[in-house]
Amino acid sequence: MTTSAAGQSPDSVPRTVETEVLIIGGGATGTGIMRDLALRSIHCHLIDKQDLCAGASGGNHGLLHSGARYVFSDPHSAVECREEGAILKRLAPQCIEETGGLFVAVAGDDEAFANNFANLCEAAGIDCQEISTDEARKLEPHLSADLIKAYLVPDATIDPFRLALENVNHARELNDSTYHPHTGVIDFEISEGRIKAAICKNHHSGELLRIVAKQYVNAGGAWAMDIARLAGCDDVSLLYSKGTLLITNDRLTQRVINRLRPPADGDILVPGGTVSVLGTTSLRTDDLENSRPTIDEVNQNVIEGTAMIPSLADARYIRAFARIRPLVQNGGAGDDRSVARSFSLKDHEDQGLDNFCTITGGKLTTFRLMAEKTADLVAKRLGNSNPCLTATTPMPAGTSCRWTEPGASPKYWYEANNSDDMILCECEMVPQSAIDQIVQCAPGAEKEMTLEAIALRSRAGKGPCQGSFCGIRIGSYLYDRGYYTDRTGLHHMRDFFSERFKGMRTIIWGQQAAQMELAEALHCGLLGLDCLDDVNPSTENTQAPNQHQEDK
């Protein structure tokens, strides 16, 4: 297959870079493979058509499973989770909060199911301790008075953005492996059973880049099937499950709270720094590019979650998000949540390629193991016999990666005690110095960074105002520092607010309605961002919403 989908002949591609391995997809798995390979002294380039954790890696609860969730449906995954969770807690503590978890059943839930839980956990080697419902409510006062069963398990939370940033940062430090944000593969040059090059496009600049590698790894997550097909492989078959989650303004519990029943809507509440994340719904979809939460999904999560945590009914929500989860199709029917959550590594050799592989399925908790298996295959093909080191090498904490941690910004800011270092995001206390550091040296940093890219690498815009104020201040600061020099900066601001809005649209009631009214008065009434000069009014409504989608 040497024909080019985008009509680009290789001759017209201006720049070629060479590397040992090209990894496609900057989620937990892709970045994990990058670090794993770098630890084996293998150089790689990583590309993502959006940015780090743009897919399912960034759109989940941030739950580091103890494995207890899977003891009913998938005992093999349960054991994997237990083992991987223990490794990550030991080696990457900066990404993890060891919150502990509770499984709770409420009146009306199946008691026989609940009674079997401890035995199944024991069989999988997972610590599980039954406690009285009174004790559970003492530990977590927001729990329902209708509790009938409660078990403590070693669940934890993990920050996938920090994790991906640390992976990329460590790989860069180890052997100068390189990450290219918003760069997607648009074509493969294939001959004689090998991929010779990947033609990649920078979706911001439009610039083409030809990457010549010895091995190509498809870690495209939900997009892995499309990428495999671009390389002529039709042996990757995925189901898409859309999950919608909600973020509350306050942290409601100290621990992860799981509903002790077969997996269903709104049955997990996970703390994440200063907030809690409620979810998820699960809906089969074919549409990869328009994963927006709906009002019904939001309402469903709240209704179901209220059975465990009644205060979820009146909580202030600051965001809802939906992401597509890829599930490896195995012919089975039924609920997508009962599909085995194990992963699949395809070597594509029966498709006539010997330097391409696809890793897909799995879950955030087992990303390291998925990366290890993939890197084993790649290293073997390269004749590299260095062993995997990710199960034994601690993840160094990169200074430019630390800004995603809730509460980290105010701490560093306070310690530095520099009154001239002004706070730009007041909700999350992100100072100017954090923005400077991110723009200059965070993984994927560029000359003219978008506000979304900065927000991904920090807590900016994650608080109750969802960036409506700090987006203006950070934009202003970037102009002031000369990073923005013309109206492009205003477009970045508009795009950032539009992107944040997607996550707010379905939860605008109560205080968020006031917040949103103020935001729109500022953005449109005062700054006129709804009327930026270059947008053609007759086409805007159809084009502008897709602008982000193209970047995926």
What residues line the site for other proteins (CB under 8 A)? 292, 294-295, 299, 302, 419-420, 422-424, 469, 472-473, 475-477, 479-480, 482, 484-487, 489-490, 493-494, 497-498, 501-502, 505-506, 508-510, 513-514, 516-518, 520-532, 535, 537, 540-541, 544-545
- Can you tell me the distance from the alpha carbon of 327 to that of 78, in angstroms, rounded to the nearest whole number? 17
Cβ proximity to other proteins, 250 vs 509, nearer residue: 509
Measured from the CB of residue 520, what is the shortest distance to other proteins in angstroms? 5
| CB atoms closer than 10 angstroms to residue 200 | 24
**In the beta sheet, which residues pair with residue 209?**
200
Q: List the structure tokens of 153.
A: 């398990």
Cβ proximity to other proteins, 190 vs 425, nearer residue: 425
Can the peptide bond before residue 393 be classed as cis, meaning omega within 30 degrees of 0?
Answer: no
Q: Which of 437, 408, 433, 436 has the alpha carbon at shortest distance from 423? A: 433
Cβ proximity to other proteins, 5 vs 313, nearer residue: 313
Q: Answer yes or no: are the C-beta atoms of 289 and 549 closer than 8 Å.
A: yes
Dihedral angle at the C-alpha atoms of 482, 485, 490, 491, nearest 10 degrees? Answer: -110
Cβ proximity to other proteins, 389 vs 518, nearer residue: 518
- Can you tell me the distance from the alpha carbon of 266 to that of 281, in angstroms, rounded to the nearest whole number? 6
**What secondary structure letter does DSSP report for 525?**
I
Measured from the CB of residue 537, what is the shortest distance to other proteins in angstroms? 5
Measured from the CB of residue 322, what is the shortest distance to other proteins in angstroms? 13
- Can you tell me the distance from the alpha carbon of 525 to that of 532, in angstroms, rounded to the nearest whole number? 12
Cβ proximity to other proteins, 394 vs 525, nearer residue: 525
Cβ proximity to other proteins, 256 vs 519, nearer residue: 519
Cβ proximity to other proteins, 271 vs 503, nearer residue: 503
Measured from the CB of residue 156, what is the shortest distance to other proteins in angstroms? 32
Measured from the CB of residue 341, what is the shortest distance to other proteins in angstroms? 31
Measured from the CB of residue 449, what is the shortest distance to other proteins in angstroms? 16
**In the beta sheet, which residues pair with residue 21?**
44, 215
Angle made by CA atoms 479, 484, 488, in degrees to the nearest 5:
120
Cβ proximity to other proteins, 274 vs 476, nearer residue: 476
The pair phi, psi for residue 22, each rounded to 5°, is -105, 125
Measured from the CB of residue 532, what is the shortest distance to other proteins in angstroms? 8
Cβ proximity to other proteins, 333 vs 531, nearer residue: 531
**In the beta sheet, which residues pair with residue 357?**
217
Q: Which helix (H) or strand (E) holds 490?
A: helix 488-504
**In the beta sheet, which residues pair with residue 346?**
358
Q: Answer yes or no: are the C-beta atoms of 200 and 33 closer than 8 Å.
A: no
Measured from the CB of residue 417, what is the shortest distance to other proteins in angstroms? 11
Measured from the CB of residue 266, what is the shortest distance to other proteins in angstroms? 15
Q: Answer yes or no: are the C-beta atoms of 15 and 151 closer than 8 Å.
A: no
